[in-house]
Amino acid sequence: MSKEKEDDWSEITPDYLIKRINAKVGSTETLAKPGLLSKPISVNPAEKKIEQIAESCLFKAGMATVIGGAMGVFFGVFTAAIDPNMTAVTDKPQTARDVYREMVSRSKSYGKSFAFLGLALSGTECVLETYRAKSDLKNSLYSGCLVGGGMGLRAGIMPGCLGCAGFAAFSAAIDAYMKS
């Protein structure tokens, strides 16, 4: 293209501009900087604030707590529906009220456990990621070991070591799968 052709503004008409704008709607092509993993740059201050909130450790840990609690409630209802007699041992026939109470009891128990697990794992991983200023597989290993070791340590040193190894391996496997 010659210099004269570049400086020629006669081709730029309102129709041409409308077509170019319509082609760019929903596209981040002009807002992405190469080298930043093609992440679009937020132009709006409200978008920047929402992005800052969503990237905070408190928000991530809170979301993991809520989602973990919901999953725990689901698993509690599911397991109680499959095996409602696990905790109640009586000779009388089981009523719908007994099954309902068992579901509520298991849902609360599983919900609390899964919520704590989500809070602990995501919270420690986010804090480690912030402290190390890196987002890699080591964060999952370290946070899994800290949480699993801490939970297992209540039963002794050997369960603490096994909990550390198990949770670290599980966290690393999940993180590797999610990032692939």
The 10s digit of each residue's pLDDT in 45-88 is 887 888 888 888 999 999 999 999 999 999 999 888 887 665 55
Residue 75 lies in a domain: yes
Clarify whether residues 110 and 154 are in a common domain: no
Q: Where does the pLDDT of residue 18 fall: very low under 50, low under 70, confident under 90, or very high at 90 and above? A: low
As for how many domains the chain has, the answer is 2
Clarify whether residues 125 and 148 are in a common domain: no
- The pTM (predicted TM-score) of the whole model is 0.68
Write down the pLDDT at residue 93: 76
Tens digits of residue pLDDT in 93-133: 777 888 888 889 999 999 999 999 999 999 999 999 989 88
Residue 25 lies in a domain: no
- DSSP 8-state class, residue 136: S
Residue 84 lies in a domain: yes
Clarify whether residues 122 and 166 are in a common domain: no
Q: Where are the alpha helices (DSSP H) in the chain?
A: 3-6, 14-24, 45-54, 57-82, 96-132, 137-153, 157-179
Buried/exposed 24-37: b ≥16 CB within 10 Å, e otherwise: eeeeeeeeeeeeee
Residue 17's contacts (CB-CB under 8 Å, 6 or more residues apart) are none
Contact between 69 and 109 under an 8 Å Cβ cutoff? The reply is no
Q: Where does the pLDDT of residue 141 fall: very low under 50, low under 70, confident under 90, or very high at 90 and above? A: very high
Write down the pLDDT at residue 23: 65
- DSSP 8-state class, residue 95: P
Distances 145 to 2, 95, 136 between C-alpha atoms, Å: 63, 43, 15
Clarify whether residues 146 and 159 are in a common domain: yes
Residue 45 lies in a domain: no
| Residue span of the structural domain in which 92 resides | 51-133
Clarify whether residues 150 and 126 are in a common domain: no
Residue 32 lies in a domain: no
